[in-house]
Structure 1
Amino acid sequence: MNRALISKVGWRLLNNVDSLWARVLRSKYKVGEIQDRAWLTPKGTWSSTWRSICVGLREVISGGVSWVPGDGQQTRFWLDSWLIPEPLLGWASGQVPQGEQGKVLADYWIEGAATVHASDLHYHASNSESSLPPRFQTAHLENRDSETIPSDSRRFRFRFRFRSEKRSSTGDSMLPSSFRSQFYIVRSAYALLSQEETPLPSMDRFFDRIWRVMAPERVRYFLWLVGHQAIMSNVERVRRHLGDTAVCQVCKGADESIIHILRDCPAMEGIWRRLVPPRERQYFFAKSIMEWLFDNLGSRKEQGSEDWPTLFSVAVWWSWKWRCMNVFGESGKCRDRVRFLKDMAAEVTNAHALARGNQGGQPRVERIISWKRPREGWVKLSTDGASRGNPGPAAAGGVVRGEDGTWLGGFALRIGICSAPLAELWGVYYGLLIAWEKGYRRVELEVDSELVVGFLRSGVSDAHPLAFLVRMCHGFISRDWLVRVTHVYREANRLADGLANYAFTLQLGILSFDYCPDVVHSIMLADINGTAVPRFIRL
């Protein structure tokens, strides 16, 4: 990345020739043309800044420049990239004389005809015209010896004509040919430098294992630091010139690297040998730190009743903590560190199991769910709302049915953009409005959103963003009629759900139905016939 950044300074040096800083550097270091790389040869008198600029010029710019001809005095016909993305010398059918190779475009200028002529070039037939830059157009394309040369590598004689007359006042200009833009972009320079390097392996799976391990948050964060090689060992302190010695202060027998602290130091090696089965010790102690972490955080070895990734994580964390306590003279007494680690791992495992139980980890049971008919003298109002995105495009639907399940009225509402609870409340509001206008005074209202049912039963504060619509629904419910609000599962609310989905195909606004629409007629018949759907629910 540093080379990509500094190469942009070199690019400005070659193009902004009138700038004061560019004139100073050009005069001091005898800057020449980019085609002549002799002035880029390092010298002992160069400053560190100029050395860095020349690195960018040599490694990025000199190999990735194309030319746009003007007067043709700078662009070399055979050796520069100006017509195609590479020099024409590689496409010559024969040996180009040494004296010809250094000629510029102006040397091939035919006075009076305003053409540049070169013969005997190999070029792919299908690309011969499409690859020409906008400044040129093909004036003549003659196929020679096509019967003796393969069709994919024929010899052609090219004659190119400038679209404008030759103007000596307009010089040739450079473009970054290897980039995807006509401007010099650092990102493109970096891509050019790194295109031949071996890509770095993805670390997503490695860090995914770290954050999924069953361990306290501070332990996972410590493992993340270890994965980034960000632990301040003595080796790292010496590298940063913060210490004088890299020797481990605990064992005094080796350099204190991260893997030495966590595994190879005798203070921890004995503990690991008691935790790891004998048949696995050889591989356990032979791996590099990244392999060591990745394999042990993902495996499922059982050591007694503890889960191995949890036990391993806790042991790694305490190995660092014990090391810090020893270095800073705060070593505590622990009769059996192995038993201590196992107890800590068991405590973590039990805590996670208890947390899962409190979050509703109890087993589910299967129940058969179906729509139930209203009681005698009552009608049932089923409403539903949907939002694709939450917030996103939203719609609502509802239906009023009698004691035998017959259709008494319904609606489909295309709302616009809103959240799912707001769509549910709009469905309730318009459902109550239709039921009231049709004269029904005993209504069972069924909604499949527990949140909305809670709003309708207990209300919300005035500061709640949905308070206005909840109050409107309460205004209907408090009228001179009986409305019972009930929560049902979605499987018992399929008809209202179908109307809400159908509303997505309509224009904005509400559409009421005196008869059941064909798109949901099959659902209504299934409800009347008592069709049930299984669902797993918590007791």
Structure 2
Amino acid sequence: MVNDLIDEHDLDFVAIMETRRGGDKACDVMKKIKLKGQYKVDTVGYRGGIWLFWRDDRFTVDVLLADLQFIHAKVKTVGGSVSFFTAVYCSPDLVLREEALGKLVDIGKEVNGPWIVGGDFNAYVFCDEKVGGAGWNRRSMESFAGCINECGWIDLGFNGSKFTWERQGLKERIDRCFSNSDWRMGNSEASVFHLFSRKSDHRPIVLRSGTSRKVDRKKRPFRFLASWLLDDRFKDFIKESWQSGEGWNFAAKSFTDEVIKWNKEVFGNIFKEKQRLRGRIEGIEKALAQHDRDHLRKLQGRLWKERGLRIRPLRKMNSAMLMKLGWRLIDDKDSLWARVIRAKYHCGNDLIPIVKNKMDGSCVWKSICGVWNEMEQGLRWNIGDGSKVNFWRDRWIPNCPPLMDLECSNPEQRNFEDLVTSFARDGQWDMIKLRCWFSEEVVRKIAAVPAPRSDLGADKVVWGLNPNGKFSVSSAFRMEANQDSGGEPTFWKKVWKWPGPQKFKSFLWLLSKERIFTNLRRFERRMTDDLLCPLCRAHSESALHAVRDCVEVKSVWMMIVKPSCWADFFNCNMKEWISMNLSKNLGKSEYGDWKLTFVVCAWRLWWRRNKFIFQNQREDKGHVFWEVLFRSREISEIWCKTSDEKMKKGLSKAEIRVGWEPPDMDWVKLNVDRAVEKEGKNAACGGLLRDSSGTWLKGFTFNIGECGVLEAELWGLLKGLEMAWDYGCKKVHIEMDSVMALNVASGTCSSPSLMASFADRIREFLKLEWEVRFTHAFREGNKAADLLAKEGLSRSLGACVLALPPRFLSTALLDD
């Protein structure tokens, strides 16, 4: 939204008030703003915050004084002229506001030159600048007017709606721009515009000095819009409009003219559509300023939704389409187009081209350069012989950035030209060498990737966001959308998939958004002067304090949370806290399903707080504790019963005999399985060989490291084949309970794929001089392999070959 304002109005300076974000979160948001000159004043809790942006190629800004309520700076243009600018956000609290106004008066006495002051003063000067609510605040009006007179400010007026702030029928003009006489005399044509509000109670205000740098859009070069390709009518249009019988220049010129006309008349000009929607919204804003009508409010909301759905995703879609062109430089590098581009821009002969922006580059090349960093995040190497994969710079570990971005021992000794083959020996990773460089967590991720082998094929580049390893626009679009949302879609899925009644889900959603009506939220809405928690009267009552940190509720949590988890439980922000409790089991085992107990407890503690406020009853903590346990078990029983009934209604079942079947005479049977702990932090596999009489021949367990379910299944199959060959088997019947792994092994899955490294190694074994056949087994008939895989989770990294059956397996072997 801020970037849209910068583009629409060609802004040199932007000041954002009441940001309510500080620290690293503020820095992450500020990086997305186009203006690279930046300065910020952090928030105090959720209050205040000022961000200042400017064009660093046109201005030099020296911040002279930064206060919680204003930033005062000296501005020097490229031409050498000097002026002063003060961005103001005055506190809603009258005492603090008067303190800030007094400081501004002191600054005014020292300013010698042109001076602009603007921002949110949280005060009005005249009675007609407020409509609705209680009466006028005379003291506030007098102190503000006194500051204006002492500083010698001139109100620069406004164009547009009179009121700059509005909430629930209350309207005020509290945002404005002033200047001193020196600045006004040099900028007599300057004017202030009140724009329509965007996602805020405040209207943005724009100060124009009288000169503007308008771009003549008619002189812009023709640009092919990637969004045209999404329209089914575009292919037919190309066939009809392209004059293949004429020369290239004539055909291209005539097509350009026709497609511009088609864009306006058929497809629709997105820029004009954006202007049309903005014009309608501004018209509604003006009408609402005169007469508040419900139907206008509904129309305003509908237009904002339409504007967001029809315009904003097009940027992400355009980036995804440009990534498709970038992918062609890799996947289709021998085509004429790719060879021309690679030669023209000196991209090199490597599989992944060198992409650098150039001043004289074409629009297409500059666009590809603009999305290449995002493009690289989706690329991944499948290791074959390891001759092309750089150990430090390339992405070859699933769900992991390049190793050069991770912490390691002796970073100054890294050789960034090392290939992955430098860290492997005889087809195995050199674990001693890896542990000298990295922590055990990183080593486990590396160990889960098959090591390079010289007898395998060349390394391959795949698209890591698609299971089949091939690029798709939809996966690139999802990547762009997830980057903007910071991974939030996954979090909200956890919230709405919580297994319980709707009222608890709704409460969980409100809690995640921190929208429960605590005293802090009521204070921010100017509904109360009391910030303190009603139970402890020691701290301001935020949402997190109300349901977790207050001493009156903390003791309840300590009754049901494992003592070993207290440090993590009580030391994170709201979303991290909820996400952690919906993903991990932090509760004591005797208290049932933790996801259910956690949400019920949070809801019950909030209900207890409200009961104290509205009925003046302080419930005993022990009573709350037992009611939480009782209610969560009751919900669990009812919910499970309901789910079982739905399953019985929706499915017709037939009983079949499931068990381990011995192989044919002269054959041996290999059963393999995997075990993966939550989130793939620890994975293992196991397997065993038995003859036609069911006699144990050999077995293994293998702690893989950190990987997904399918990778663990394929590791089990690979290790099982290796064990069977080493044992001297010539006829092997393999059983496993993963259909997907069987498809990869048999070549049903298309290649290249994310599993190509495993598939190549498995097929190498299948080419040997022996007979191998595969069948799918139900999990109930694969118990012995399952137990061996689970045993591997508790072992150290690496494989363990078992010549004799372990004791824990005796019951499963007898059952078979």
Computing the radius of gyration over CA atoms, which structure comes out larger, 1 or 2? 1
Q: TM-score, normalised by structure 1?
A: 0.38
Please identify which structure carries the higher helix content: 2
Higher RCO structure (Cα 8 Å, ≥6 apart):
1
